[in-house]
Amino acid sequence: MKSFFIVLFSLPLFVFGQRIAMVDIKGPTTVFIERMKKEKGFFEINGDKGLPLLRGKIKNDSVTLILHETPINHRLYKVDVRFDAIRKWKKTKKFYLAKKENLIEKYGPIKTDKFEFIKPYCDGGKNVWEAFSKNKATVMADWGEMQYFQNLHLKYFINDDGHIYLSYTLRDEEFKYQEEKELSKNSIF
């Protein structure tokens, strides 16, 4: 009887997928796009690199969702949430650290946490963005294989373009992406 209740109460963890703004990240990319448009007021924008992009707000933050899909079945396997660039290092750092604390509360402890600058660059120096562009700075939190979110790989980082990114990767769908990528290479069509 005890095990029945444990199974019953743990079932929702496996039934529901990962979510962004209470919308499940799963299935065909077109379905996710339509749900974000209809339920959250997002709209499509033209993007580079052929990736579908959505623009909107999540909890009062203006964001762009960068959608990555499998090449054959067009299933969503990764969503990058790109927050608007702030341009001022102190404000970017403050925003990053505040969001990181919220993510720790939601997802638990970080597996890999880096906040480093390689000389001659330093935190708060006048050439902070140059340090990022030359790969002389790393500000990143990686949850790795999360205990309570078995299918999710979550990364949070500052990129050299001045944007802060929160990257959701569904591991099972990422495996399908790798398989489809290999299949599409070997295709005679």
Tokens of 44: 């499509």
Residues 40-92: pLDDT tens digits? Answer: 999 999 877 788 999 999 989 999 999 999 888 899 999 999 999 888 999 99
Structure pTM? 0.83
* Cis peptide bond prior to 120, omega within 30° of 0: yes
Selection from 58, 80, 57, 55 nearest residue 67 by Cα: 80
pLDDT at 161: 87
Three-state SS for 12?
A: helix
pLDDT at 189: 53
**pLDDT confidence band for 12 (50 / 70 / 90):** very low
Q: Which residues of 5-28 are buried (b: 16+ CB within 10 A; e: fewer)?
A: eeeeeeeeeeeebbebbebebbee
